[in-house]
Structure 1
């Protein structure tokens, strides 16, 4: 599934080099397309927007500060952003239900909400924030999977990657 999404993103970006210019992507279009196809990489708002239009669903990404959402469709999926990556939010019909019973797509109502589920999602996000379950981009600790050097924050990780070409990092505490 993830590889399919990466292919959709790369194909969309490659198909419109004017819209997805170097100024917009932060790198040349072809370089970005190669980069995003690497499953070790992750994206953000650009990629979520492309996937929202491709699948014809709103994508709401909740984090402690910002809610990103494409508001144009009759269904919504929800993600929670922990400072490093996105996880799907799902609603289980009952405790102990098999994962395949989880609901991940919700109907958008006339008031542009998804009803009581939206409140549950927002409460979960607030609870995670209160528990400090989020990873701040400036202070998380990573270890390079290639040379095992520890770095702190996104800035140091980017600097290490640029200096060494290493892009395989794991979070550690």
Structure 2
């Protein structure tokens, strides 16, 4: 069986025997990530695998259908210190492995900006003979609200009311209200910080949305959100298995979200005429396949993704220099420092 995971060093896939135990799974994760002391979480909201599950089969817990989250032990210990209540039983869902990059320092977030406008100008599209239509990429502004803007456009017309446009600000408020209304579900363990602190941060326009925000929007609007990773072509289906009638599709370049839309007139630029939701069943699987084809084009022809394993960074608080997300995560967890800048390559 194959099991996917995300960790401070990036995402990965494990190949395990179908009879593998949780203990064997944990050993494989430790070997793959290079971290000896980790906590592994699964489900939504995430709950940690415990020592008394060590001899259970991974399949018996449904882990072969999960996208596991690996956190360093220091992070888990800090969370337990808050004495938060047990995490409630999760609903099934998977989320993008790089969504955890919402904590990436703002100085590193501009790496995709020059690409965004260029891609938009090139009008990336894929023909869909199945429906005599075209699938196009709608590129979102690089304003730290790309997730909300991308999803908001897909929600247009889903409900009647005073805010049919579902702006980034309105979706931020919706997320915060949902977290506050469900304190037993969104504890400090799940959010990574005290709920009020998390909510105050999420209301700021310079704060990125991530896996928690996608899951909440999916739940509130009863909408499956399919996110396709440009680099790997992997499809992550937020809300899958919950019986939602409709789905939308987003493209994720590791630091940026864009929206996928269907048009029936070549060169159509007015987004109000876009088709952005499809039936969440086999009848629209060709949309997913064509979106993956689009992502291959984005990767191979336009290199439209950011590889967070290669950037060189410096801590402005202590002068430390390192390379890649893994080193950044380790330094931040060890020191608590967050004032980080990228060291640009000034070579020819």
* Structure 1 Cα separation of the partners of residues 223 and 296 of structure 2: 24
From 175, 178, 192, give the equivalent of 1:12: 178
* Structure 2 Cα separation of the partners of residues 67 and 115 of structure 1: 11
* 2:325 aligned with 1:120: no
- In structure 1, runs of 5+ residues without a counterpart are 143-150
Structure 2 contact 249–288 (Cα < 8 Å) conserved: no
Structure 2 contact 225–249 (Cα < 8 Å) conserved: yes
Structure 1 contact 92–99 (Cα < 8 Å) conserved: no
From 82, 86, 90, give the equivalent of 2:253: 82
- 1:45 aligned partner: 211
How many residues are paired up?
160
Structure 1 contact 77–104 (Cα < 8 Å) conserved: yes
Structure 2 SS opposite 1:27: coil
* Structure 2 Cα separation of the partners of residues 91 and 104 of structure 1: 7
Larger radius of gyration: 2
Q: Greater CA deviation, 133-142 or 13-22?
A: 133-142
- In structure 2, runs of 5+ residues without a counterpart are 1-166, 314-321
* Structure 2 Cα separation of the partners of residues 28 and 105 of structure 1: 35
Matches within 5 A, 1:88-167: 88-100=259-271, 101-109=273-281, 111=282, 114-131=284-301, 132-140=303-311, 156=328, 163=337
* Structure 2 Cα separation of the partners of residues 118 and 156 of structure 1: 34
Structure 1 contact 42–85 (Cα < 8 Å) conserved: no
* Structure 2 Cα separation of the partners of residues 49 and 90 of structure 1: 21
- Quote the offset at 1:119 in angstroms: 1.6
* Structure 1 Cα separation of the partners of residues 328 and 291 of structure 2: 32
Q: TM-score, normalised by structure 1?
A: 0.76
From 183, 195, 200, give the equivalent of 1:34: 200
Where relative contact order (Cα < 8 A, 6+ residues apart) is larger, the structure is: 2
Once the two structures are superposed, what CA deviation does each residue of 1:38-64 show, in whole Å capped at 9, x if it has no partner? 121112221111001111211011102
Structure 2 contact 233–292 (Cα < 8 Å) conserved: no
- 2:227 aligned partner: 61
What value does the CA root-mean-square deviation take over the aligned residues?
3.0
